[in-house]
């Protein structure tokens, strides 16, 4: 694509990067067919190609964002299916990240929208605040229907509906510490505790540590580590995202320099995509660029790390049929496709792949709160495809997808690592059917 930026505009390294990305796009439109918002809404401006034109026009003319561009960029899930499809290697992720930061700087959103976004940015990245908010949400849940009647309050209704009926007890894993294996130590990793996942489902990281310890891997929960920054990053709040990234880079660098790390293990693929991008996000900060690149290189999804180990035979072969849902951040963001399925099959599960596996389930960070209608359509489509497999349960590697799919599916939705932990001698995840019943059903 031809671009017309001035030399003065190109002096800005962010514009320079976006210009390089824009030039790669050849307008072919292949990406439209796999874009969930284009497939759902049928509007070119809600396709990757349409959004690329809008972003180009805004940046080239040095214009402030307006209502039209904000509407179409806000509808983008950042699922990155377009990047998987694009034959020209257009880095839509970095382009839309730049556009969101530009929108945040130049556009004044309506009051209700500003308040909701500020509330989410204030609460979600902090475990204590999020836990308290979920407890409050239980009280507010009966009023969700009333909030639904006012357009500006629909996100509040969506938040209340997504809150779990029971908030799990705080896990000991939230505290910094070292979890040593009982057998000979074969490796040492740090685990990302993160923000929302340990509050909603602490059992995921507990299963991870238990499995890794049984395999002889020491697991460190470093002091000072927290939210990966993805949530505010996707809102265009660059400074807040970079601050969170720097805090994590510092925490992991201390561990790299003290005990050494083979990997930084991540059990939420949404966080994994962002941490693998820290090297890019902090490239312009001389104090952090190298350290951030080192952290990004060490970041591994738990399944990516497990396949590097010499796994023993599983302790049991569960024999259950599992529909594997590949989170967008797993398959498009990190290009991890085979590892989770191979590990599940090796552990004795029968793995089925739902149709339209490339399409997002509609969770996408806070998307299911901010865009509840599109999100609900995508969720229904996803659940239909999953249920058509006839599987007894769903396995996936991202807490957002677990919450989203479980809110509509008729079968349990379990993190992949909890199933692997069970097969390799750990506890059976709650709510799973017995293999014989599953086969009969």
What residues make contact with ligand SF4 under the rule CB under 6 A? 25-31, 35-37, 48-49, 51-52, 76-82, 85-86, 88, 90, 92
Least Å distance between CB 435 and ligand SF4? 37
Partners of 351 in the β-ladder = 322
Q: How far is the CB of 69 from ligand SF4 (least distance, A)?
A: 13
* Nearer to ligand SF4 among residue 80 and residue 134 (C-beta): 80
Q: How far is the CB of 199 from ligand SF4 (least distance, A)?
A: 27
3-state secondary structure 17-70: HHHHHHHHCCCCCHHHHHCHHHHHHCCHHHCHHHHHHHHHHHHHCCCCCCHHHH
213 vs 326, which CB is nearer to ligand SF4? 326
CB of 14 to ligand SF4, least distance (A): 19
Q: What count of other Cβ atoms lies within 10 Å of the Cβ of residue 26?
A: 12
Nearest CB to ligand SF4, comparing residues 79 and 209: 79
Identify which of residues 86 and 264 has a Cβ nearer to ligand SF4 in the complex.
Answer: 86
Q: What angle do CA 226, 271, 299 make, to 5 degrees?
A: 90
Q: How far, in Å, CA of 163 to CA of 261, rounded?
A: 35
Measured from the CB atom, the residue of 76 and 281 that comes closer to ligand SF4 is: 76
Helices (H), 259-337: 269-275, 278-281, 289-298, 302-306, 328
Q: How far is the CB of 1 from ligand SF4 (least distance, A)?
A: 7
Placement of tokens 């299911």 in the chain: 368
Q: How far is the CB of 46 from ligand SF4 (least distance, A)?
A: 8
Taking the complex as a whole, the smallest distance from the CB of residue 37 to ligand SF4 amounts, in Å, to 5
Nearer to ligand SF4, 97 or 218 (CB): 97
Contacts of 114 (CB under 8 A, 6+ apart): 108
- Contact predicate 361/401, CB 8 Å: yes
Q: Closer to ligand SF4 by CB, 34 or 193: give it.
A: 34
How far are the Cα atoms of 126, 248, 256, 267, 278 from residue 252, in angstroms, in the given order? 19, 6, 6, 16, 12
Q: What CA–CA distance (Å, rounded) separates 100 from 113?
A: 15
Each residue of 348-366: b (16+ CB within 10 Å) or e? Answer: bbebbebeeebbbbbbbbb
**Residue in the block written with tokens 């599109």:** 374
């Amino acid at each position: 694509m031809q671009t017309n930026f001035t030399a003065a505009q190109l002096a800005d390294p962010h514009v320079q990067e976006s210009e390089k990305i824009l030039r790669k796009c050849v307008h072919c439109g292949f990406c439209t067919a796999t874009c969930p918002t284009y497939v759902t809404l049928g509007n070119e401006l809600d396709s990757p190609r349409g959004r690329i034109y809008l972003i180009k026009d805004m940046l080239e003319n040095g214009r402030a964002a307006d209502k039209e561009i904000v509407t179409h960029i806000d509808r983008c899930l950042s699922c990155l299916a377009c990047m998987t499809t694009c034959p020209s290697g257009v880095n839509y992720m970095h382009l839309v990240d730049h556009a969101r930061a530009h929108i945040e700087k130049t556009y004044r959103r309506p009051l209700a929208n500003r308040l909701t976004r500020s509330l989410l940015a204030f609460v979600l990245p902090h475990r204590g605040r999020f836990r308290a908010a979920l407890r409050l949400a239980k009280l507010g849940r009966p009023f969700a229907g009333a909030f639904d009647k006012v357009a500006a309050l629909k996100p509040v209704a969506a938040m209340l509906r997504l809150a779990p009926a029971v908030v799990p007890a705080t896990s000991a894993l939230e505290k910094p510490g070292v979890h040593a294996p009982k057998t000979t130590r074969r490796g040492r990793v740090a685990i990302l505790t993160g923000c929302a996942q340990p509050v909603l489902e602490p059992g995921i990281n507990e299963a991870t540590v238990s499995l890794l310890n049984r395999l002889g891997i020491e697991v460190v929960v470093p002091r000072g580590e927290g939210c990966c920054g993805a949530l505010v990053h996707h809102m265009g709040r660059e400074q807040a995202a970079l601050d969170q990234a720097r805090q994590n880079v510092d925490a992991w660098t201390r561990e790299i320099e003290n005990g050494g790390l083979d990997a930084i293990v991540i059990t939420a693929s949404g966080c994994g995509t962002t941490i693998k991008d820290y090297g890019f996000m902090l490239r312009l900060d001389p104090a952090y660029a190298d350290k951030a690149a080192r952290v990004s290189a060490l970041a591994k999804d738990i399944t990516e790390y497990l396949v590097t180990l010499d796994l023993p035979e599983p302790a049991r072969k569960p024999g259950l049929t599992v529909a594997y849902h590949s989170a967008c951040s797993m398959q498009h963001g990190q290009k991890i496709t085979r590892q989770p399925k191979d590990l599940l099959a090796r552990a004795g599960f029968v793995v089925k792949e739902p149709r339209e596996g490339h399409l997002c389930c509609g969770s996408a960070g806070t998307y299911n709160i901010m865009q509840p209608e599109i999100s609900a359509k995508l969720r229904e489509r996803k659940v239909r495809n999953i249920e058509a497999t006839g599987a007894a349960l769903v396995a996936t590697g991202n807490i957002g997808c677990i919450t989203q799919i479980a809110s509509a599916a008729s079968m349990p939705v379990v993190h992949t690592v909890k199933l692997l932990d069970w097969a390799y001698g750990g506890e059976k995840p709650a709510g799973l059917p017995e293999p014989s019943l599953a086969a009969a059903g």
